[in-house]
């Protein structure tokens, strides 16, 4: 088969644009051949249980799914009754970028809170954690946070612990959208369990696609009392893969060694390199801290339009001209330098 694209062409639109890491492709090939029991009763999925427990503790249970939207919706539905609601940041992915799936598919009410940096605090949670026992109000049940956030910011272990302690004191559960949890852990140089299990998170949506998998995310229950019926919900929401061994084999390759860490460190390093390269360009503003692999910048609209003809990336805020540039595990120094040179060229 002839390749239909230029394999040397990189973009800064999303880490989802990247291909599959070679070690992941090898794992898929190694899992091929012969027959294995379908729908998750295969030896690769069985081995995956121990792999996730090594990272998140002996009580952790993982359910692979196809994509991140499903990981979030299945997680939150398993944590809530039909009359209960989820508190999240106004910029949370589940609110802004899931196409309404939590509401439309999951039937879950979202109670949003404005946040200056994409992060919830105990005080901000209390803006929506009220009305308990009021039959006219959706009952708050879950606090959902993201690490990294949609604004590229990081929660520290201490910040997550404070959120979890406050939520639990109010009788609430905590869900963490970890589509880029690997990037957060690498940036903070802490184990992933320090940002989840050890901090008190109850359920985690763990991301794989953005960090090198062909496809696949996982619902990871850290507190078995916090979620019920995931086996059935995964099937009901059309997320039970018949050939699950190929999803599980990818996660085993990612997590059994340090591939997740190497990939995350590379993406983060390229984010820092890009920010440093554009900050001194006259007319370019970098308004947010660059803490992982996301760089936000404000450019003149006409510059953005010209740049987007050369490199794909998204406009984050049409009103302000803010754009978002994402670096991936396969972004190289040469890619960053070429893009920064293009920004400088278009600004003159």
Three-state SS at 64 = strand
Q: What is each CA distance from 250 to 8, 15, 208, 222, 299, in whole angstroms?
A: 24, 17, 9, 21, 39
Tens of pLDDT along 325-342? 999 999 999 999 999 999
Tens of pLDDT along 178-209? 999 999 999 999 999 999 999 999 999 999 99
pLDDT above 80 for 30? yes
Q: Is the pTM of this model over 0.85?
A: yes
pLDDT above 90 for 1? no
Q: Looking at 255, 276, 305, which one is the last position of a domain? A: 255
Q: Note whether 248 and 100 are same-domain residues.
A: yes
Q: 11 lies in a domain?
A: no
- Which DSSP letter does residue 348 get? -
Q: Which residues of 166-188 are buried (b: 16+ CB within 10 A; e: fewer)?
A: bbeebebbbbbbbbbbbbbbbbb
Q: What is the pLDDT of residue 9?
A: 85
DSSP secondary structure, 234-297, as one string = HHHTT---TTTHHHHHHHHHHHSSSHHHHHHHHHHHHHHHHHHHHHTSTT-B--S---SSEEEE
Q: 290 lies in a domain?
A: yes
Tens of pLDDT along 205-225? 999 999 999 999 999 999 999
Pair of tokens at residue 225: 């009392």
Pair of tokens at residue 9: 């062409």
Q: Note whether 248 and 294 are same-domain residues.
A: no
Classify the C-alpha dihedral 147-150-152-153 as positive or negative: negative
Q: Note whether 236 and 300 are same-domain residues.
A: no
Say how far apart CA 177 and CA 65 lie, in whole Å. Answer: 14
Binning pLDDT at 50, 70 and 90, where does residue 8 land?
confident
Q: What is each CA distance from 330 to 106, 208, 213, in whole angstroms?
A: 34, 14, 12
Q: Looking at 255, 272, 297, which one is the last position of a domain? A: 255
Q: 6 lies in a domain?
A: no
Say how far apart CA 211 and CA 21 lie, in whole Å. Answer: 8
Give CA angle at 58 (180, 262), nearest 5°: 35
Q: Note whether 147 and 225 are same-domain residues.
A: yes
Q: For the residues 143-163, what does the mean pLDDT come to?
A: 98
Q: Note whether 52 and 173 are same-domain residues.
A: yes
Domain total in the chain: 2
Q: Note whether 113 and 198 are same-domain residues.
A: yes
Tens of pLDDT along 124-150? 999 999 999 999 999 999 999 999 999
Q: Looking at 255, 281, 307, which one is the last position of a domain? A: 255
pLDDT above 80 for 92? yes
Q: 337 lies in a domain?
A: yes
Q: What is the CATH number of the domain that holds 322?
A: 3.90.1150.10
Q: What is the CATH number of the domain that holds 151?
A: 3.40.640.10
Q: 135 lies in a domain?
A: yes
Q: Mean pLDDT of all residues in the chain?
A: 97
Q: What is the pLDDT of residue 348?
A: 83
Q: Note whether 46 and 147 are same-domain residues.
A: yes
Binning pLDDT at 50, 70 and 90, where does residue 231 land?
very high
Q: Note whether 111 and 218 are same-domain residues.
A: yes
pLDDT above 90 for 45? yes
Q: What is the pLDDT of residue 2?
A: 80
- Give me the helix-helix angle, 245-255 and 259-279, nearest 10°: 70
Q: What is the pLDDT of residue 19?
A: 96
Q: Which residues of 132-165 are buried (b: 16+ CB within 10 A; e: fewer)?
A: eeeeeebbbbbbbbbbbbbbbbbbbbebbbbbbe
Q: Note down the domain range covering 331.
A: 259-347
Say how far apart CA 301 and CA 318 lie, in whole Å. Answer: 9
85: enclosing H helix or E strand: strand 84-89
212 forms beta bridges with none
Q: 71 lies in a domain?
A: yes
């Amino acid at each position: 088969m002839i390749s239909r694209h230029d394999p040397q062409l990189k973009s800064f639109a999303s880490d989802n644009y990247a291909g599959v890491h070679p070690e992941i492709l090898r794992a898929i090939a190694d899992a091929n051949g012969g027959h294995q029991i379908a729908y998750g009763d295969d030896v690769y999925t069985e081995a995956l249980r121990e792999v996730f427990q090594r990272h998140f503790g002996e009580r952790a249970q993982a359910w692979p799914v196809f994509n991140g939207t499903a990981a979030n919706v299945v997680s939150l539905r398993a944590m809530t009754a039909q009359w209960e609601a989820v508190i999240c940041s106004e910029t949370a992915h589940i609110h802004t970028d899931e196409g309404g799936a939590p509401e439309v598919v999951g039937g879950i009410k979202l109670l949003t809170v404005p946040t200056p940096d994409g992060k919830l605090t105990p005080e901000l949670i209390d803006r929506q954690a009220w009305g308990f026992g009021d039959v006219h109000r959706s009952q708050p049940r879950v606090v959902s946070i993201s690490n990294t956030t949609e604004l590229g910011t990081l929660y520290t272990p201490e910040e997550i612990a404070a959120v979890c302690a406050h939520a639990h004191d109010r009788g609430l559960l905590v869900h963490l959208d970890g589509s880029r949890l690997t990037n957060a852990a690498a940036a903070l140089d802490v184990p992933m369990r320090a940002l989840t299990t050890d901090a008190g998170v109850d359920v985690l949506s763990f991301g794989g696609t953005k960090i090198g998998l062909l496809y696949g995310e996982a619902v990871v229950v850290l507190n078995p009392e916090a979620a019920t019926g995931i086996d059935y919900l995964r099937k009901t929401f059309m997320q039970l893969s018949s050939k699950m061994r190929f999803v599980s084999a990818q996660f085993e390759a990612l997590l059994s060694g340090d591939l997740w860490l190497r990939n995350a460190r590379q993406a983060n390093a390229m984010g820092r390199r890009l920010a440093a390269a554009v900050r001194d360009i006259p007319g370019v503003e970098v308004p947010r801290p660059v803490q992982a692999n996301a760089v936000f910048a404000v450019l003149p609209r006409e510059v953005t339009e010209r740049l987007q003809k050369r490199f794909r990336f998204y406009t984050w805020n049409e009103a302000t001209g803010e754009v978002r540039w994402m670096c991936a595990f396969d972004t190289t120094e040469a890619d960053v330098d070429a893009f920064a040179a293009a920004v400088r060229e278009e600004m003159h």
